A = this chain, B = another copy of it.
Amino acid sequence: QEREPTSLKKILGLEEILNVNIWRASLAELLGTATLVFALDTIVISSIETETKTPNLVMSTMVAIIVTILLLATFPISGGHINPIISFSAALTGICSFTRAAIYIMAQCLGGILGALALKAVVKSSVEDTFSLGGCTLHIVTAGPQGPIVIGLETGQALWLEIICSFVFLFASIWMAFDERQVKALGRVAVCIIIGIVLGILVFVSTTVTATKGYAGAGLNPARCLGPALIRGGHLWDGHWVFWVGPAIACVAFAMYTKIVPHQHFHVLER
C-alpha cells in the first residue's frame, strides 16, 4: 500500500481545531491525567510513608499498574496518551496531527492541575510539605546542622537523566504502540502493560541510581510535574523547565530514529 506524500497542511491538521470530537476526546485526556496525577502522587506519598525498606519498589510496581490501567481506560476514547511526551512524539512521527497533539497537551496540563488540586484537598498540610505534593523536585531545602541547606541533583545531571530516560521510554515502549504491526502482533493489553512496566522500571532506576535525597526521580510526564508546581509553587519551580526540555529533546531524537530505521523488516521479507 502506497502512502501519499503528507503535505504540511495535513501534518499540522489545523482544520481539526473545529472538530468537536477532538475536544470531547480531550476531556478523557484531561480526566485521565487528573486521575493519573492524583494516583501517582498519592502512591509516591503512601510508598514513602509505608514503613518498608523498599519504598521505591512498591512505588514502581504501583506506577506500572496504574499507568497500564489508565492507558487501557482512555485508549478507546482519545487514543490513550495522558502524557505530553506521547502526544508530542505521536505528532512528530505522524501518528496524529500537531493540532490534536496541542489540544491534548493542553488538556493534560489542565488535568495535571486538577489532580494536584484534588490531592491538596485531602492531605494534611504537614504531609503536603514533606512530600512537596508528590511533585517533581530537583532539590529540596531541608534543615541541616548549620541552618537550612539545599540537597538534590545538579540541574545538568537531571537534564541528562531526563533526556536518556525519556528516550528509553520512547524507544522501549511507545515505539511498539506506534507501530501498527507490533500492536497487531502483541495485542493492545500487552502494549499497555509494557508501557506501564517500562515506566515503572525507569521510576525505580532514576530514583535509586542517583542515590540523592531531594531528587524525586525522572519526571517522564511534564503534565504531572506542572500540576503540583503550579498548586504548591516554591522550590517546585526550580528547574521545572528540565521536565519539559528533556522529554522534548528525547522526542525529536526518537522521531529522527524512526525516520532512519527501515520500516519493513527486510529479514522477514527475504525468507
Contact = CB atoms under 8 A, between A and B. Distances in A.
Nearest to A26: B261
Interface size class of A (residues with CB under 8 A): 35 or more
Copies of this chain: 4
B50 A54 contact: yes
Interface stretch (A121-129, A135-143, A219-227, A229-237): A121-129
B209 A127 contact: yes
Nearest to A53: B51
A262 B46 contact: no
The 10 A-B pairs with the shortest beta carbon distances in the complex, nearest first, are A46-B208, A42-B205, A51-B53, A42-B209, A122-B161, A21-B266, A76-B265, A121-B160, A79-B267, A21-B262
Contact of A210 (B62, B124, B190): B124
A249 interface: no
A192 to B, nearest CB: 10
Interface string A1-45: 000000000000000000101101101100110010011001101
Nearest to A264: B21
A157 B125 CA distance: 12
B72 A210 contact: no
A142 to B, nearest CB: 18
Contacts of A78: 267
A66 interface: yes
A205 B39 contact: yes
Interface in A40-74: 42-43, 45-46, 49-54, 56-58, 62, 65-66, 69-70, 72-73
